[in-house]
Amino acid sequence: MSPDNNPSSRIVQKEGLLSYDGVVPLVESLADELPHGISEKTHTNLVTLSRQYEDPYRRTQATRRVDLSGLVPNLADSCQNKEEVESALFPLAEEQIKLIKLQERLFKQELFNTLEGRSTTPRAITWLDASIAHIISSLTRQRGLISIQMQQDADNSLPKDGGITYFPMYILGRHGNELDYVNYSYKYPPLTEASREILEKLTPDLLRRGSYPYDQPYPVDTPVGFLRQIGIIGIPYIRALVQHIADLKQAGEISIGNEEMYLFVRDNP
């Protein structure tokens, strides 16, 4: 389940800003890729690495207060109503879903599990990151003055005094303290009145926050489900963790052969 749709997370408004508190999803799955899990030192390094992703993420979270996909602002100039947004956005999602279904069985399951927030692998995050990048690239060509103004308003409203704060919880492992899970908290601005009016007008009903029950996740092999859940891969800590794993593989500190054997054993109990 995406953290944005998780009823256990908490969003409150204080001093003109919205505050989000929740648990970073998928960390346990990715920590399994590391020989000794996530140590205290590794966590500190991940927090530093994640800073580069924070502002774009927090800016998009403001949009997701209405539009769970975070993509509708790109169509503010080219679309006049919800139906036109659906016609422009849903085929792009359907194209990516078809590509997922063409993958080999285990990888296809990794991709859908990631979207559902159940479990993940670095290659699934990387693939889905490229998937959403392709959609954004297609939408960027339709942007105009309204879309640009909406982004500038969000950028200008971002709090400058601090980004995301992490609260790690450790357990004692064979090699010292290992990360068990990590909570995170951050502040972001509410939408401007103009941006909210645009999103209220253009966001398709099933992409609107609160349009579908928490306990009935929308199927992720449909355009609506894919678009509602794709934001899970943008969490800065997750991006940093995947980058860290890739760096270790490139340096030869994680054996790719061992990783493949681990995945085989995990998926074939």
Write the pLDDT tens digit of every residue in 8-42: 455 555 557 889 999 999 999 999 999 889 999 99
Three-state DSSP state, 94: helix
pTM over 0.75: yes
The lowest-confidence range among 26-30, 49-53, 164-168, 259-263 is: 259-263
Work out the average pLDDT over 58-64: 90
Q: Find how far residue 17's CA is from the centre of its chain.
A: 21
* Distance separating alpha carbons of residues 137 and 115, to the nearest angstrom: 20
| pLDDT for res 98 | 98
Write the pLDDT tens digit of every residue in 76-131: 999 999 999 999 999 999 999 999 999 999 999 999 999 999 999 999 999 999 99
* Distance separating alpha carbons of residues 218 and 224, to the nearest angstrom: 7
Helices (H), the chain: 27-31, 40-50, 54-63, 82-101, 105-116, 122-140, 145-157, 193-202, 223-229, 236-250, 256-267
pLDDT band at 175 (very low <50, low <70, confident <90, very high): confident
Contact 113, 229 (CB under 8 A): no
Work out the average pLDDT over 143-148: 95
The lowest-confidence range among 96-110, 134-148, 215-229, 249-263 is: 249-263
The lowest-confidence range among 127-136, 146-155, 171-180 is: 171-180
pLDDT at 256 over 80: no
Q: What percent of the chain has pLDDT over 90?
A: 70
Q: Find how far residue 251's CA is from the centre of its chain.
A: 27
Write the pLDDT tens digit of every residue in 187-220: 888 899 999 999 999 999 999 998 876 556 789 9
Work out the average pLDDT over 129-143: 95
| pLDDT for res 253 | 77
pLDDT band at 262 (very low <50, low <70, confident <90, very high): very low
| pLDDT for res 8 | 43
Query: Widest CA span of the chain, in angstroms?
Result: 59
Q: What is the DSSP string of 150-219?
A: HHHHHHHHS-SS---EEEEEEEEETTEEEEEEEEEEEEEPPPPHHHHHHHHHHS-GGGBTTSS-TTSPPP
Work out the average pLDDT over 134-159: 92
